[in-house]
Structures are given as C-alpha cells and as structure tokens.
Amino acid sequence: MTLRAVLFDHDGTLVDSEPVHHRIWNQVLAPYRVTIPEDLYQRHYAGIPAAANAEDLVRRYGLDVAPAALTEAKNAATRAFLARAAFPLMPGVPEALEELVRLGLRLAVVTGANGHGVRATLAAHGLAHRFCLTVSAEDVARSKPAPDCYLLAARRLGLEPGQCLALEDTQHGLEAAHGAGVPCLALPTPMSRHHDFSHALAVLDGLAEAVQHIRRTLGGQGQAGGRP
C-alpha cells in the first residue's frame, strides 16, 4: 500500500523521557523503601504504561497499596514534573518532522502513555502544528502492547493500517503496531536495545536514519517530494 502517514510513539521516540520516568517511579516508591535498579527498569518497565507497571511492581515487591493508587501517584508526580519542565526531545526531532511534512505525509502521535504528557511535550517544544492526531492511553480500553491504539489511529485518519508507518523504540510498542498491521521501524535507545525487534521492517539508529528509510520508500512509490 501507498504510505500516507507516520505514527510516532512518544516516550523514547519523540522525547528522551524514560530516564525521567525511572526517577519518578523511584520517588513514588521511596515511601515503600523500594528502588527499581536501572537494569530491571530497562527489562521490565521501559515503554510500558503506568497502570501495567504499577500492577507488576505491587506483585514483584509485595507492596501494600492498590495498583490504581500507585498509578495515580505516578501520574500525579509526572504532572508535577511537567508543570515545571518538559521532557527533552530526542535528537533530530524538529528536522525529521519538517522533512516528513515536506514529503506530504500526515503525522500522528500514538502512545501508551497519558495524553497530558504528549500535550505538554508538543506545547513546550512548539510542535503541536505538526501533528493532526494524538491517540493516548485514555482513548483505548487496552494500551500497548495491544494493537488498539494503532487501529484507532488508522481509523481516525481514514486510512488502512498498511498505509501507515509506526516509529517505536520498544518491543511492546512494536508488538502493538505489528498486531494492528502497521509496518514499524524500530529505533532502540539504551533503555531498549536488548528488546526483540524481529517484527520490525528495520532496526535503525535514530530519526535521521528513519527519515532516509521513508524517503527511499516514497521514492520507490513515486511519491517523493509530493502529496501522497
């Protein structure tokens, strides 16, 4: 199918937020005398929605707190962080967005995270005008790695899943895209480089390489430099 849209994950793809999320989780867990080691966070928690992480943490550490309460504590701490700061962008984000728009592609954010974080990112960095759609955890019954968010994004864009291309930095995000029938480029970070990306179209080193891959794809479809 002809490529029409690029669907960006948020955490780890648009923004370098996983180290921040790790620190926030450890702040939330401090009253329970629990600290998540970095290697454990990378293996089990990076790229996973807060609610799923909370359920795992309660089980793993035998915490005397309801997962929903732990999730809300994490979300509240994240909102407090975003009220005074913004997640830093991943390298090359503004340039990549500009080029993809120039190539005539529609852009969307498809995340398993809370939509507040996405809105804060786009507002803080002046990028909201680049995206025509955001799908976040509040929009679906099942978040990543379920395919629901990608299926919803394609439907709202009026496109077939195969007309979209996902950019993801984690195995769970890749599984969501793959399950929805959306081709995916994997952009691993130090937090996710050990993940299984066998379902990806390609495993690339950052957004600049992803844009090059997309440009070649459009050239092969006779689209480069024009509206799809």
| pLDDT tens-digit map of 84-106 | 999 999 999 999 999 999 999 99
Fold of 18-84: DNA polymerase; domain 1 (1.10.150)
- Domain span(s) for CATH 3.40.50.1000 in the chain: 5-16+87-220
**Residues of each domain in the chain carrying CATH 1.10.150:** 18-84
How much of the chain exceeds pLDDT 90, in percent?
86
CATH code of the domain made up of 5-16+87-220: 3.40.50.1000
Q: Residue 224: what pLDDT?
A: 52
Q: pTM of the full predicted structure?
A: 0.88
Residue 4 confidence (pLDDT): 98
Read out DSSP for 80-125? Answer: HHHHH--PPBPTTHHHHHHHHHHTT-EEEEE-SS-HHHHHHHHHHT
pLDDT recorded at residue 176: 97
Q: Is the pLDDT of residue 227 over 60?
A: no
Looking at residue 62, the DSSP 8-state letter turns out to be T
Number of C-beta neighbours around residue 8 at 10 A: 27
pLDDT the model gives residue 82: 92
Give catalytic residue positions. Answer: 9
